[in-house]
A and B are shown apart, each in its own frame.
Chain A
């Protein structure tokens, strides 16, 4: 770990990271996890830095997780609620970014409904940009906390069989997970009804199946994605009950799997649609551990990217 040096200003997606960089984030997160278990859950590493949470899409858990992570590093945090901001008055993303920067902000955490928005933002500001989910593109910190949780459960990622089940087409979590697991040496299968498998997903390293039993057989872990019935674009499946029958994870189905199979879900869960309550609250579920680990992982990311700006300031001198 000593030899890997983090040089990136931003975290835009897992696609752009090397295996060593992913491992450095996981290693750093392990150290921060200890901090989150102390009585005083705070370290002064980002004292005097300012983090802005710029969320163009509603989010509670990711925003809270980033906010807690920044606060536990002693950074100051500002949450920008887009409904109340000048974006409603027609300001562009780049202008918003530059204005935030004029306020001497160090890190912008951005969630946007357009794929690639963080990439555009990162090119127009000197501050570090952390992607908290962009369109159907990537949600890198979710994938990092998923592999972190998996690694702490099973000890390693290399050689694992992991199946991602659910709405792959509209899922940035799926995409980031495929990249992360692939780079760390796991074999990834995605499983969903045909209409929810995006074209070309196998090109980024996932095996595709429409058969749940095939996806579960021999799997060391499953990551069950949320069916986003609230989105208008999801008309791909006739009924929730029908989906649960064919793709829902139940105790019966789990009993045929590997005994220690790890069940993950990025939340929020639709109980009785993606999985039954028995499974969600069962022994194999690590869903709440994922939430806990999210803070440590995001602390690690903020800590690592915060340095890039410093480095460039030094180069200027």
Chain B
């Protein structure tokens, strides 16, 4: 199976503007930065979490707490995948008790990753509230989960794959829709 690039949905500038807007929305809904913490879902969500924190600092003057969550051990398809996924470290070095946690991920699809993240997160304590910020919402939910902050809604088919590329991992910033071809 190969992937054929179909359309570019975001480039470097538009991705940056989108994140900027999400940062503003987050600030709009809170009283002070101290009450929130951003937790990115590894791998790319973690980088987006850091970027959002930097933007919130630029706008408001103070930087929220940032952590990164690896959800591998909580996946519900561990008994189905053919290769044991590599487990990465979770880095949450603050107390989440009572905090308003904003989960950050690149693409919201079936919702199963977020389900795992919720399970993983409550093992760290009892947050006051959990919200979700995603760069792309591509639909096809299999669980009753929705995002509180969405960068871009993108209608997709099941044959398509949304690829988010970030300079921290992939060397450039862009989001493309690819199609699976045999």
Binding site for B on A (CB under 8 A): 1-2, 4-6, 24, 27-28, 30-32, 34-35, 38-40, 42-45, 73, 300, 303-304, 306-307, 310-311, 314
Contact = CB atoms under 8 A, between A and B. Distances in A.
B82 A311 contact: yes
A307 B81 CA distance: 9
Interface of B: 70, 72-74, 78-79, 82-84, 86-91, 119-120, 123-125
Given A5-B83, A6-B84, A304-B84, A31 B123 contact: no
Given A34-B90, A43-B123, A307 B74 contact: no
Nearest to A24: B86
A44 B82 contact: no
B89 A30 contact: yes
B119 A31 contact: no
A314 to B, nearest CB: 6
A303 B125 contact: no
Contacts of A35: 73, 90
B79 A310 contact: yes
A180 to B, nearest CB: 20
Nearest to A30: B89
A28 B123 contact: no
B89 A31 contact: yes
- When A and B form their complex, which 7 residue pairs have the shortest distance between CB atoms, in order from nearest? A307-B84, A43-B73, A45-B73, A31-B87, A40-B123, A31-B89, A34-B89
Q: By CB atoms of chain B within 10 A, which of A31, A42, A306, A311 has the most?
A: A31
Contacts of B72: 45
18 contacts: A2-B86, A4-B86, A24-B86, A27-B86, A28-B86, A31-B70, A31-B88, A31-B90, A32-B87, A38-B123, A39-B125, A40-B123, A43-B123, A44-B73, A44-B119, A45-B78, A307-B84, A311-B82
A62 B88 CA distance: 25
Nearest to A47: B78
Contacts of B87: 28, 31-32, 300, 303
A38 B122 CA distance: 11
A309 to B, nearest CB: 10
Contacts of B88: 31
Contacts of B90: 31, 34-35
Contacts of B78: 45
Q: By CB atoms of chain A within 10 A, which of B72, B86, B87, B89 has the most?
A: B87
B137 to A, nearest CB: 26
Nearest to A307: B84
A34 to B, nearest CB: 5
Contacts of A303: 73, 84, 87
Contacts of A2: 86
A30 B89 CA distance: 7
A45 B57 CA distance: 37
B123 A42 contact: yes
A39 B83 contact: no
A14 to B, nearest CB: 20
Nearest to B125: A39
Contacts of B70: 31
Nearest to B116: A44
B10 to A, nearest CB: 25
Given A27-B86, A39-B124, A43-B120, 20 more contacts: A1-B86, A2-B86, A5-B83, A5-B84, A24-B86, A28-B86, A28-B87, A31-B88, A31-B90, A32-B87, A34-B91, A35-B73, A38-B124, A40-B124, A43-B123, A45-B72, A45-B74, A306-B84, A307-B84, A314-B82
A39 B126 CA distance: 11
A27 to B, nearest CB: 7
A92 B70 CA distance: 44
A30 B87 CA distance: 9
Nearest to B43: A2
Contacts of B89: 30-31, 34
B59 to A, nearest CB: 32
